[in-house]
Chain A
Amino acid sequence: RKEVEQDPGPFNVPEGATVAFNCTYSNSASQSFFWYRQDCRKEPKLLMSVYSSGNEDGRFTAQLNRASQYISLLIRDSKLSDSATYLCVVSRSYIPTFGRGTSLIVHP
């Protein structure tokens, strides 16, 4: 079993739609959780951290479920500029493991 698993997609949605991604991780000792965004031919950049209590940043909401070992990202009111690959990241002792990413395409 891979340490961090994501559905690669692509998720193809119209502008204004709500879309959700999930990510599962295998190591119960994982300590920190993140979502990164990677645009085509660019480097990954931090989108947001993920906490058990939930974390909201504008149209983006991230949630952690430690009992089930999964992380979610919800994007509301999708914009064309949200088109990118979203990487789930799980960290232990400050060392991250990246998922393969989920591709999102937002179309007019």
Chain B
Amino acid sequence: DAGVIQSPRHEVTEMGQEVTLRCKPISGHDYLFWYRQTMMRGLELLIYFNNNVPIDDSGMPEDRFSAKMPNASFSTLKIQPSEPRDSAVYFCASSYNPGQGGSDTQYFGPGTRLTVL
């Protein structure tokens, strides 16, 4: 089984532009998480979905950030407009509900390295 897939792997954009990051979770996983990692703040949970429904978006830094999960195999994280302080590595991760025989082990994608100039 392919792991979590993220695209693009690298993104360089200019301040003010819209950025869309994409994630395909592991098939059968019902939890999907978006994280941001920086040297200053470490790994921060931005938002997570359960069965395609956003459960907690309290980690989303501000209204410029939005996330969607239109179906079980696809999610997007959008930043509009982007700012230089958004530069970071954005990870998507998925897991399978332990209550249904899974595990709360998180499986991470390779990340998208975003640079906003």
Contact = CB atoms under 8 A, between A and B. Distances in A.
Q: Do A and B bind each other?
A: yes
Interface of A: 32, 34, 36, 42-46, 49, 87, 89, 91, 94-101
Interface of B: 31, 35, 42-43, 45, 48, 56, 91, 95, 97-98, 104-106, 108-111
Contact of B104 (A36, A44, A94): A94
Given A43-B91, A43-B111, A46-B105, A99 B42 contact: yes
| SS of A interface (majority) | strand
A98 B95 contact: no
Nearest to B104: A94
Nearest to A2: B42
Return the 3 tightest CB-CB contacts between A and B, nearest first.
A43-B108, A100-B42, A98-B43
